Structures are given as C-alpha cells and as structure tokens.
Structure 1
Amino acid sequence: MTDALDDIAAILERTGDYRVLRRLGPFVPPAAEPDEPTFVGLILDTETTGIDVTADEVIELGIIKFEYGASGRIYRVLERFNQLHQPSIPIPEAVVRLTGITDADVAGQRIDDAAVEALAAEARVVIAHNARFDRQMCERRWPVFVSRNWACSCHQIPWRAEGHEGMRLGHLLADHGRFHNGHRAIDDCEALLAILARPLRTSGRLAFTALLEAARRPTVRLWASDAPIALKDRLKDRNYRWSPRRRCWYVDLDEEQIEIERTFLSREIYRGTLPSGLPADRFTARDRFSNRADPEA
C-alpha cells in the first residue's frame, strides 16, 4: 500500500498543480564514519503550562542526543529522551488544545532529573528552536544547563535570506515536503534535527553549519542610552528593541558591526555627538539567551 500511495503522490506532484507533504519519520543520518573531530550535541524542546519563564512549569521534555563534527555534519543519533511531568496546577485549556497533553496524561508522571543532568553533562551545545524561552525554563529546573553553550535555530539561521517565508518548525518542514506532530516535544526535536541536517536553499551550506558559526561568534548588545523618544521609530526600523527593565533601547550585533552602528547613532540619533561611555555588553553561547543576558527577564 505504501508503494502505491507513493506512486499516487509522485503523479500528483508531476502535474505541477499539487504539493504532497509526507510524514516525517525518526531521523536517520547517512552512514558515514567521521573524518573529523566529533562532539556531542542536544536538540531540546519543552512543552509548558504557559509562556512565563519565571512561573510556568515544564510538562514535557524532549531531547535528542547526537554526534556531530566541527563542520556541522551530523553522524549519529546517540539517545532519544521524552518524559511527561505533572505540574502543580491543572494544565490550562489553551495548552491542552495546543499540545493535546491533558491532566490525565501527566497524572503521577515526573521527569527524571538525574537522567536529564546526565544527558546534558557532556553536551558541547544545546539547540532549541526558541532558545530564549527553552533555556530559561530549563535553567530553573536543571542547573546543569546554566553552564552549557546554547544556540537558537529560529533566530541564528537566516531563514528568510535562504528562501523561507516563515521560521516556525512546521513552515520550515513543509518547505522540505514534510509534516510532523507539532507541539509535542520529541516530535519537534525530530523535526529540528532533520532540518539542521539539510543544506540551506540559497547558500547550499548545511543548516547546522550556519547555526554553529553563528553560535560561536561573540555578540555585543549596544544600548542607546537617553535616545530621544521622538526617534524611537527610527530605532525600531533599525531592529532596536525596548528593555522595560532598563528603560532603554538596545540592539544585538556581531562585533564587526559595532563601529558602523556607533556611526549611525551619532549621525541619526544623537545629532553628531555620541555620548561617551555608551554601554555595551558582550555575550557568547555560554550566556546568550539566558536570564543573565535577557534585558526583559
């Protein structure tokens, strides 16, 4: 039956009037012995009771542990981990609708903290598709994640420049002719691993190679202290964000962009006179996306 359905799908696609999405299965790397130094990485996803990183709880944790080379090639899946956890409150109805996880599913369930700590202990990098959220959720529960390097596959790969309209996992997967059971932790991990192992549309580089390069680069957060409120739209157009905690506009940049940005601020925002000692914070993968680096946390 599978062969017959594949034949039908191929006929539909050849017409040019149809696109057929095929269900994504577990990721199987191409058989190849590493010819370069290898490391251990984790793909991680959480399902939670809400989006407040200071108060909400993890109800499902999915992790895929894998071996990769410095080049970004993925060689082996080492372990898959997926567990549910009963939170201290009933799961909100909106979360049930999104994930399909019910109070009955998590009743009496608890994530094995020791197993999570062991998985994370040897990881060179932890990857999540929204690392700002997942990292802060995980650090609250499992301190081992505080000292790990993190990368964000959503925001550290130039998806739009590579020909993709959306950055959501489902959109990226559909662009590759696949679909999955979204908003379940291990399924999202499988989807992300499959996407990272593929070449990017425009550059042809492996997606994971691009992510590793971005994660390895230090970034600088430049603060536009005392910028005139009347010029906020100009800053927003330049991708500045507002920090309610510091009540200041900021932008994250690669180090080589700093002088270009200072020139822009001097000319367009401060009318030719750049304030002395304009604040700038330097981040690496060790603290990027954590609450230590989040101005809104």
Structure 2
Amino acid sequence: MTVIIAFLANILVAIAKTIAAVITSSASMVAEAAHSWADAGNEIFLLIADRRGARTKDARHPLGYGRNAFVWSLIAAFGIFTAGAIVSIMHGIQELSETGPVESPLVAYIVLGIAFVLEGASFTQAMVKSRRLAKERGSSTWDFVLETSDTTLRAVFFEDAAALIGLVLAGGAILLHQITGVAAWDAVGSILVGILLAVVAIILISRNIEFLVGTTAAPKLRARVGTALLALPQIERVTYLHIEYVGPNRLFIVAEVDLAGDALEHDVARRLRDVEQRIEEHEAVETVVLSLSVDDEPSLEFSAS
C-alpha cells in the first residue's frame, strides 16, 4: 500500500510539473518533472520487487526468493541516479548561460504547492509506518530506515523526503530568479535538485548492495535472536550464531546449540528437527539450521540492550 500511494502521488505530480515546465520554461521545474517521472517509474520496480520477493521457497531456491526485492530495488535506485540526478544536473548546467525571465511564475508556485501536499501525504504515511516499526524495535526512526531490510519502505521514505526538499529548492530558485532577474538561480536550483537525488540514490544503492552480498545482522537483532533461542526449553546454550537476511524481514539462521538432557543420537536428531520447525513458524524466519555444539566450545552471551 505504501508503494501504491507513492506511485499515484508521483504520477499526478509528474503530469502537473511537466505542464508547468512547458508553461514557465523553468530549469528547476524541468528538473522537478524529471524527478517525479523517475520516481513514478521507480515505484513500478518496487512493486515488482514486492511481488517477486514474496514468492515462497521451493527446491531450486531453498532460501526463498526474497533477494529479488534487493535486486529490483537496486535497479530502481540506479533509475533515480540516471533519470533523476544526471538529467537534472546536466539540464541545469546547460541553462546556466540563459538570461530569459521567469514566465508565469504563479503557475510554478501553484504546482509546487500542490505537489508538496501530495508528496507530503505520501511521506507522512511512510513516516508513520517507520516510526511505529522503529518504536517496536527500540530504535530511532532514522536508524531504523537506514538499517531495515524492508528496502521498499526505505526507498519510499527517502524518495518522498527528497521530493519535499527538492520542491523547496525549486521554489526558492524560481523566487530568486524572479526577484533578482538572474536566470542562473533557476539553473542552480536544477543542479541542486540533481545533487540531492544523487545523494539519495547512492544511499539506496549502497544499502541494497550490502543486503545482496550478505550484511551482518545488527547487534540488537542478534541479541533478540540469541535470547529467543535460549528461551526455548530444549536449548541449554548457544555456541555459534549466524544471521543473514535472505529478503525483506526474512532471516536465515544457523546456530550451534547444546540441547538439554543426555538423549541418544537418534533422539537428539529428532529433537533438533522439532526445534527447527518450531523456530521456522516465526513469520520472520525463512530457514533455520541447527547443529550440536562441542563440549569445550564457549557459550555465547546475549545482552538485551
């Protein structure tokens, strides 16, 4: 739903900005139009990411298809960089030598105002969801958005935030052009919007790459998983724990554990399978693999903080 709301908002805003760019001949409005069309296109990639990443695991993909979400989100991030950042910066540089006046600036202000309301509504929805999830995890909203494996939520959050900042930059550039009569201000606005998009794209690209190559779980998540394992009555201690994201909010867990009691080998194997099945019932766990610890291996300790 977050992506659909953002997509509809971007389509409406992109159409309005394109019309305003034609009427006003403003470089900043051209940059904003390119920005919104790029965002709208990227929402399609994010919808594909959600759809393909949600497929259930099978024999060919025992860890599921969740990493598809990171791949398509990475493509969307490159779209922001190419269709948004590069176009805006290049157009702004080309317009630096222009000396024409701002045409129909009122149209630009009206469109920017409407766009701010629509983008603000989309950003508010993403912000409310991010704050709620961050509170559940005992994290700040900013840290949660940066660290979350929900790549779609992060993309929408950053795209909408960039859109709001870009609207302010564009409006300010047009106003300075109108007040001073120096057209370079409008071109500078386009360049600044491009730089803003480049920064956002680089952040999104780097985060998706980290999840694709297998980033380590955050210490708080590792502590929660370790504590949850030790809370199971069948497990006495944990000597090894590996946690890896195999999709948005989907975990692959490998652990070496010492089971309670002194059962026979056959019974131990059955108990391990039973514990694995119980852990995999959790909605965030895609697959878990447990093996037995060696007696002389030190136990891991997990802090709740």
In which range does the TM-score fall when normalised by the shorter chain? under 0.3
Normalising by structure 1, we get a TM-score of 0.24
Higher helix content, 1 or 2: 2
Larger-Rg structure: 2
Normalising by structure 2, we get a TM-score of 0.24
Q: Which has the higher contact order (CA 8 A, sep 6+)?
A: 2
Higher strand content, 1 or 2: 1
